[in-house]
Structure 1
């Protein structure tokens, strides 16, 4: 009879001990969580980001060859694809021919300017000759007028002298007009030289532009990394400005964690961070706060909310915080842009 009474008592005692043990464990866990939460700011609204560079076609044309595969590794200055360059080569040849023609026109214009300058010299010399003749004719007129007054020569001889003086006067004036005309010709020739020089410079710029476009037919990687899915195939026509694919820089991974605005008082630049990647639960990374955004994430959206319009509902905003990963190069085989992570900042 005593044995029967002992068994229920022992069973109740065991249940009580188990219950007490659970309470103790829950208390310990709760205290640890409370102590952890009181010294950490955490968020699961975070993901891995990476620096990326879009590969964009700078000229239009048909893709002649493609040298990359989906998600393949590339190095800086590697040739990624080539666009058919035949049209651009022909355009370059045409630009070079136009440049040579412009140079020939410039030489002709300079020769015309030289002839015009020489014309000024000739016109000036002729004017000097005409001036000498005019002065001699005027002197002859004064002498014959004295002789006529003394009845030494006839009236006809005096008239001939007057005619010669008038003729030489007109010839001198014509010589002066020729100098003005020659100078005008120099101005016109100089303007044509300037015009020809400008045309040469324009044709030279066209050659440089054609060479630049010809160089753009070979598209190279601007950074070292791994490409995403390519959006182009050989034989496809691409437009200038079209995005072909993106290169992700493997050395530029970082975390963007979106903390609530109420958590900001405990977040500072340089603060240590514990990082856990959802896809690799056994991987624990370390980092530190590199920068804190000057605006909430909503302000960067396509249509940012405006509390002054509609019915106002207060919503706790989130602020992006950039977190650098310590020794990120050791985890390149696991880091992928876009992976979800959990971040804890100790303060």
Structure 2
């Protein structure tokens, strides 16, 4: 009886061992497991960007906060004063910039005005030359007209003298005939009247001829005077010289004005740069005022608060951490010998030590680019002679699946876990 019991016990143990071994073999073939795993998540440190004294502390440890919520306020009076200074500097620089632009415009208008004046002077010189030529032509025409008039008056004088000679001869014959009593006294009187009329005509013609001669001489003198002042070659030379002088003066003035315009343009560019610099200072001052309010970058719980009211903080100094419990995952450190069949997208099962009876489903998200020791602060150096081979571990990121109530908020970063990855 005893032997039968022992045989049955041995058979049961053998069956259990075989079954257990079969299960272990199946699991080793289609799953890999590690207990070197931890809950991980997003930790957003909140640090000061400007120095200042803490005047308000609006959160406590482990308090739920929203993204954008004010957590800490610093004393902003100094920064607000600098902000007002920056605004005043922007206003001053803007006015200087506008004034510089107006000065450049005025300089350009002055250059255009001087060019216009130089052109007007040249036009006036041409007009003077044309006017002088017209006056000379008029004087010459007057001389020709006076010469024609003089010739006409001389012809009249010659005719009057001829008529006077004929009247004188007629008077002498009339007197001879009257002495011989061949004609009456009236015939002699008529001859005398004709002689006196002819003499008067001669006198009048002589006076007109003399006046015409004087007019001609006056016209010729005026023409000679204008001809002496209007030598075409000399006048052209003088006009060219005058134009050259005007052009030189205009060129010098234009260069001076252009140089002044360049100086004003440089002043305008400098004013523009100063204006932009003042705007940048204003933006920086505005940001510094905003930086006196430290806001939460994400939704989560406040952790590691290391700041108190009245404390003076410096830029870059960490004040607290916001842990995003809605964005957590599992970092499982598998042995390098276990990763042969592990791929992204495989199913995973997670047990957290805090809740050993509650499994969480997950998916392999990614495998690290290197082992944990490779990315440590002091990587291992195996170049010594007494090197001992150690199996390395590679971090694998496992993302937990959504649950009906959302992501598992009950988990906290740093909790220990056991992760099993299923190949099928």
**TM-score of the two chains, using structure 2 as the length reference:** 0.68
**Pair 1:334 & 2:410 matched:** yes
Tell me the residue number matched to 1:265: 340
Question: How many Å separate the matches in 1 of 2:7 and 2:48?
Answer: 70
Tell me the residue number matched to 2:87: 96
8 Å CA contact retained: 1:123, 1:182: no
CA positional deviation for 1:314: 1.1
Question: How many Å separate the matches in 1 of 2:420 and 2:247?
Answer: 103
8 Å CA contact retained: 2:303, 2:321: yes
CA positional deviation for 1:286: 2.2
8 Å CA contact retained: 2:326, 2:407: no
SS in 1 for 2:32: strand
CA positional deviation for 1:316: 0.8
**Pair 1:244 & 2:353 matched:** no
8 Å CA contact retained: 1:134, 1:172: no
* Higher strand proportion (structure 1 or 2): 1
Change (3 A) 1:287 1:21: farther
Q: How do residues 79-228 of structure 1 correspond to structure 2 at under 5 angstroms? A: 79-132=70-123, 170-228=245-303
8 Å CA contact retained: 1:130, 1:175: no
SS in 2 for 1:297: coil
* Higher helix proportion (structure 1 or 2): 2
CA positional deviation for 1:65: 0.6
CA positional deviation for 1:69: 0.6
Question: How many Å separate the matches in 2 of 1:27 and 1:234?
Answer: 70
Question: How many Å separate the matches in 1 of 2:317 and 2:35?
Answer: 36
8 Å CA contact retained: 2:325, 2:409: no
**Pair 1:297 & 2:288 matched:** no
Tell me the residue number matched to 1:343: 419
Structure label with greater radius of gyration: 2
Question: How many Å separate the matches in 1 of 2:318 and 2:129?
Answer: 88
Tell me the residue number matched to 1:41: 32
CA positional deviation for 1:181: 1.2
Question: How many Å separate the matches in 1 of 2:248 and 2:88?
Answer: 48
Question: How many Å separate the matches in 2 of 1:49 and 1:227?
Answer: 16
> Unaligned 5+ residue runs, structure 2?
137-223
Change (3 A) 1:331 1:167: closer
| 1:146-189 per-position Cα deviation (integer Å, ceiling 9, x unaligned) | xxxxxx56xx999xx99x87677545522331122112222221
**Pair 1:320 & 2:401 matched:** no
Q: How do residues 16-31 of structure 1 correspond to structure 2 at under 5 angstroms? A: 17=5, 21=9, 24-25=12-13, 28=16, 31=19
8 Å CA contact retained: 1:134, 1:169: no
Question: How many Å separate the matches in 2 of 1:22 and 1:53?
Answer: 60
8 Å CA contact retained: 1:88, 1:210: yes
8 Å CA contact retained: 1:258, 1:321: yes
Question: How many Å separate the matches in 2 of 1:257 and 1:314?
Answer: 22
Question: How many Å separate the matches in 2 of 1:322 and 1:311?
Answer: 34
Say what the alpha-carbon RMSD is for the aligned residues.
3.5
SS in 2 for 1:235: coil
CA positional deviation for 1:134: 5.5
Question: How many Å separate the matches in 2 of 1:179 and 1:61?
Answer: 58
Question: How many Å separate the matches in 2 of 1:102 and 1:331?
Answer: 55
Question: How many Å separate the matches in 2 of 1:126 and 1:19?
Answer: 134
